[in-house]
Chains A and B, each alone.
Chain A
């Protein structure tokens, strides 16, 4: 099982009945696996992480054991309700899974979310493999209910997406906690919050006591010359390198830290090392307690660790390698052949001085060569709102030209709507563009409010992007097929010249959606007509490259979107299969 599958299984075994999430790598498969238990667990894709967290919080107040799951930056979106719920305390157990991404395999930063537990003053658990993912979930719910605290369940890419053997257990039938109206506990008004904060400080003392005797924190004494404190996947790396040649304090319950246990361990080993990925989260607290140890002096703070990095840092062990005289060319990710975003980005990039604010999703790839069509990518929703800010700065500075802001359909529902409102309300000189490909693309095709289907597979109201934009007050909402370059070009021009609010929705499904009809035709180059002008390379399609001096279209990759065909000025690209 992968860590994500095991977390889903753990939720099932722990008696969870409500789960909510917004997809984000590396967390997505948690909810995708929870659907397997749909006879027991209600689950949903929420429009964003804040909503997912609030749904799970509500379920907890309502008496259910509940779960919210998201990637590390999703926790930023959900931080508001999390911090307050940490004050209020739970009814049914509440666990928030944060899936961090050291090395930024698929993220915009590698923030270490362990600090959220300390910051919000809630308990934290960190598993180190799939078995622990499952088993620790059960303990997480027990701790949540016994200590009246939300639990942050922190995993990383290598936990989520590594597979290891898991022994399964039975589902615990947990009885629903009765719902009792309790205004002092659940209404976070100042008077109540003051009392709540005092309770939270007491709770932390109790939790530290638990931490010192928690089954999740274990000392393994072997050779006592070297003592290693570690947590998460870093423990596995350490174990791989040091084996029985060192003693370990493996910490699975990482907030509050078991300070007594750490002291005891430090006194029984000669030299103490703290091996953790990313920030010196444990090391800082251990050093602050006056305990001598070595950590980030030797172990990198950047990117994910692995056994070789640890062996190198601590043992000076260098693994031999052989280099070749040949150098590889980089292979960055690209928009797929036939990607509907290509037509839009190609059109918008024709005028190089256009400012286009981007967002998070497949369309972030619009910034790559050769399109280079984006100016910014910050976070979910900023495609609209940061564009609004740029347009205002330009208004003041006198720089001419409208700003175009880009979000996808799922991102529009996530946090694009509020930005779209701001543009109309505060009269931004910009054009919001929703690239509607009918699915949440980058994370691997999850349903969203615009697809007409729920996570549990039920048909539901399909929320209409165009209708929403019209209701907000856009005078013109232009729907266009992005692969029709003439229509796309006309639309961009019209938008640029419009004197009233104007929004664009490009509509064409992602080519990877399963069950779409197979393309009727493919594009092919007529070598005699090709003048080697390389215009077709400017669309940045991975299926097109030069072969033996002329343009060539790889037939196994082409899906016949016709974008290159419209770009060729010499009619050298035609269709086959008609």
Chain B
């Protein structure tokens, strides 16, 4: 059969250089945690900063309490809306076990921002499996890991649902995306009656 790999036709330097000019953010969580909202805010902010941005999300069946991911890629010129394994620069996990599920997508020198928060999946809830232990240690042993107690912060602020914006703040700080006026972006996307608490959540996330 005629099969010819192009490995020997193309030096990999070009690819390596191209990959450096685009940054990849992978957001993972559980349906209902607000990952999509955060990726919307990120996309809007990065666009304002003048980057080419592509964002990819999954709808439908997965949203019913399943594992969800969204990806945001930005740089001078972005082609693919999607990344594969070993390509993410930063992994933001809204739930601890989800960090483990998607860890293979992170570059070996990538950063993990992880919410120290457990949501048992159904096999765990019905007693057919145990929630895995030692996740934080395992992450910290292998990656630059930033642990965030977003649930605690959000609860103190008075609304546990603002966890996602706390994590956005932590991501912005960890990834040094401070060139964007995020408060302005939040105001454009989040309804007026919820904006104050979300700004507080964002600022708290930046402080952690």
Binding site for B on A (CB under 8 A): 25-26, 28, 105-106, 129, 157-158, 161-165, 223, 225-226, 233, 236-237, 239-246, 270-271, 273, 292, 294, 297-298, 304, 306-309, 311, 314-336, 362, 364-365, 368-370, 442-444, 534, 537-538, 540, 542, 544-546, 556
Contact = CB atoms under 8 A, between A and B. Distances in A.
Given A240-B18, A328-B98, 6 more contacts: A237-B80, A270-B9, A273-B6, A294-B2, A319-B84, A320-B108
A444 B61 CA distance: 10
B60 interface: yes
A216 B60 CA distance: 31
A294 B3 contact: yes
A317 B108 contact: no
Contacts of A297: 1-3
A362 to B, nearest CB: 7
B173 interface: no
19 contacts: A26-B60, A105-B58, A105-B62, A163-B43, A163-B55, A163-B81, A237-B82, A271-B4, A306-B84, A315-B5, A315-B7, A315-B12, A321-B107, A322-B143, A324-B103, A326-B133, A331-B66, A534-B127, A545-B120
Nearest to A444: B59
A331 B30 contact: yes
A164 B3 CA distance: 35
Contacts of B4: 271, 294
A7 to B, nearest CB: 15
A29 to B, nearest CB: 8
B60 A298 contact: no
Nearest to B51: A165
Contacts of B57: 161-162
B64 A329 contact: no
Interface of B: 1-7, 9-12, 14-15, 18, 30-31, 43, 47, 52-67, 78-87, 97-98, 100-101, 103-108, 120-135, 138-139, 142-143, 160
Given A163-B43, A226-B10, A25 B59 contact: yes
Contacts of A331: 30, 65-67, 97-98, 101, 121-122
B29 to A, nearest CB: 10
Contact of A308 (B10, B79, B84, B127): B84
B122 A334 contact: yes
Contacts of A544: 125
A542 B132 CA distance: 18
A538 B100 CA distance: 28
A542 B65 contact: yes
Contacts of A538: 126
B93 to A, nearest CB: 11
Nearest to B139: A324
A88 to B, nearest CB: 34
Contacts of A270: 9
B3 A298 contact: yes
Contacts of A542: 65, 122, 125
A328 B100 contact: yes
B164 to A, nearest CB: 14
Contacts of A442: 60-61, 64
Nearest to B104: A321
A324 B107 CA distance: 13
Candidate in A223, A315, A537 with the most chain B CB atoms within 10 angstroms: A315
A162 B123 CA distance: 31
Question: Across chains A and B, which 9 residue pairs bring their CB atoms closest together, nearest first?
Answer: A308-B84, A319-B86, A106-B60, A25-B60, A162-B81, A333-B66, A331-B121, A545-B125, A333-B64
A316 B60 contact: no
Quick one: which of B9, B97, B124, B142 has the most chain A CB within 10 A? B9
Contacts of A164: 52-55, 78, 81
A223 B127 CA distance: 58
A266 to B, nearest CB: 13
A105 B80 CA distance: 18
A443 B139 CA distance: 35
B178 to A, nearest CB: 23
Contacts of B3: 294, 297-298
A220 to B, nearest CB: 13
A307 B87 contact: yes
